[in-house]
Amino acid sequence: MTKPRPKLPPRGVLTGETITGRRSDIVRSVVALAGRSDPGRLTIAQLAAHLKLTPGALFRHFPSKEAIFAEAMRWVETSLLGEVEGALRSGAEPLQSLQQAFFRHVKFVQKHPGAPRLVFAELQNSGKTTAKQIASRLLDRYATSLEVVISDGQKSGDIKPAVNPKAASMLFLGMIQGLVIQTLLAGNTRSLAERAPAAWRMVHVALAQTEM
């Protein structure tokens, strides 16, 4: 006896899988478009046109533009911290872990240049949006993870005991931020990989007990 074939949903009815996939498409499109222009000026009409949808179709998946941007920022937080924390928790020596995290961050920006643009735009936002809260949380979590590894490096003797872990984490993040701003202004993220080694050497000199 053959099993009955499962009923397909009527045409035009969105299944849970379709909804999840479409939400992901919308979020990734926000990040992609942010890499080409000011994310603060990105409109629902532009996003819908990029996805070949009507503006009303977007609101079948998100209640508002703010909700779309919050989800995009949540994707940036999860994706970037997944890369960075994976390196910091790799079990390698502290300085090696920091180096891996540094270059993983650089590669992430090369692949998703819209991600830092979104973070910068939200942090400059004078309002109290969910996306801004997520961006702030991202930086706090990132800095805290760096501080833990730097402190571990001091205990193992790899990192200078006089280094302040909090200040050192800001140096690490500031160095990457400077690189990103330079490349965004130049409009060429490929130069990021060329400049990153020299920037890392400066971080290494500031932290390490011994020279490279």
Rg, the chain, Cα only: 21
- pLDDT, average across residues 55-62: 91
pLDDT category of residue 140 using cuts at 50, 70 and 90: very high
- Helix-, strand-, coil-residue percentages of the chain, each rounded to 5: 70, 0, 25
Length of the chain counted residue by residue: 212
Tens of pLDDT along 198-209?
Answer: 999 999 999 998
DSSP letters, 99-129, are HHHHHHHHHHHHH-THHHHHHHHHHT-SS--
Residues 6 or more apart whose CB falls under 8 angstroms from that of 56 comprise none
Half-sphere exposure of 87 toward its Cβ, with a 13 Å CA cutoff? Answer: 22
**3-state secondary structure (DSSP) of residue 179:** helix
The confidence band for 15, taking pLDDT boundaries of 50, 70 and 90, is very low
Segment 172-192, tens digit of pLDDT: 999 999 999 888 777 777 788
Beta carbons of 161 and 179 less than 8 angstroms apart: no
Helix (H) or strand (E) holding 193: helix 190-207
d(CA 31, CA 16): 23
- Strand extents, DSSP E, 48-163: none
Q: Tens digit of pLDDT for each residue in 92-129?
A: 899 999 999 999 999 999 999 999 999 999 998 888 89
